[in-house]
Structure 1
Amino acid sequence: MKLTSEELLEIVVKAADDKLAQDILALDVHGLTSLADYFVVMNGRNEKQVAAIVESIVQNVAKNQGDVKNVEGKDSGRWTLIDLNDIIVHVFNYEERGYYNIEKLWSDAPLVDISGMVKEQ
């Protein structure tokens, strides 16, 4: 059975949260682009944490029979893009996230309430 976009979103957010990803945002881009249903943006504190977050997301998606289409930038540790077909995940190093400011580029996209998917801080 294929995962819905919403199920996949929850897997991504929980996997990132388990590795202490910071400032996780999910943007609903259904009506704005045909690229994906959601963009998920987050950052790690350093290159090692970015790598751990990416690995956690990829492993958890695969474990739940999700399709990891492509992973780009994994070796740099600065900005990794994970293409999950219905969801595009951007995992940034803190400084890179501020520089590229993906959230501002997609400011027309409504934020998705992910509070029920993350542990209370």
Structure 2
Amino acid sequence: MIIINPEEFVKKVEGWIEDKSGIDIQSINITELSSIANYFVIASGSSDRQVKAIADNIEHEAKLLEIFPKGIEGQREGRWILLDFYDVIIHIFHEEERGLYNLEELWKDGIVSR
């Protein structure tokens, strides 16, 4: 098993999102705000298919590092997929849905690293 700290994992996730042409990537450090995770990574895709492809790529690449999610939600619909990697929670939105939930505003007191 490969040991990786949350900051390094976030950087890898950002790259994996870019590999599938994800847009508007934001990484927010919420360590001081919540006990649920250290980071949220939020990104968008322009179609259900792209949202699913981004999430699938993250899951695949993480498995290669022997990092497995605690849970995955929303894969069937492809409008908002959440991948929970314990310290890092990843939200991949269809760009039409992202504004409705506005997670960036909800966690605006976090430290945005990207």
Counterpart residue type for residue 112 of structure 2: L
Kindly state the Cα deviation for residue 65 of structure 1 after the two structures are TM-superposed. Answer: 1.6
What's the CA shift string for 1:79-114, capped at 9, x where partnerless? 01000011000000011001100000001001014x
Aligned to 1:104: 105
What's the CA shift string for 1:25-84, capped at 9, x where partnerless? 000001000111100000000000000000000011111121211110011110010000
Displaced runs of 4+ in structure 1, greater than 6 A? none
CA contact (8 A) 2:59 2:68 kept: no
Instruction: Work out the number of aligned pairs and report it.
Output: 113
Counterpart residue type for residue 28 of structure 2: L
**2: CA distance between counterparts of 1:24 and 1:14?**
10
Output the TM-score relative to the length of structure 1: 0.90
Unaligned stretches of 5+ residues in structure 2: none
**2: CA distance between counterparts of 1:106 and 1:26?**
11
Aligned to 2:67: 66
CA contact (8 A) 1:68 1:82 kept: yes
CA contact (8 A) 1:8 1:66 kept: no
Matched, 1:45 2:38: no
Amino-acid identity (%): 36
Higher strand share: 2
Aligned to 2:96: 95
CA contact (8 A) 1:67 1:85 kept: no
**2: CA distance between counterparts of 1:55 and 1:107?**
28
Alpha-carbon RMSD across the aligned residues, in angstroms, is 0.9
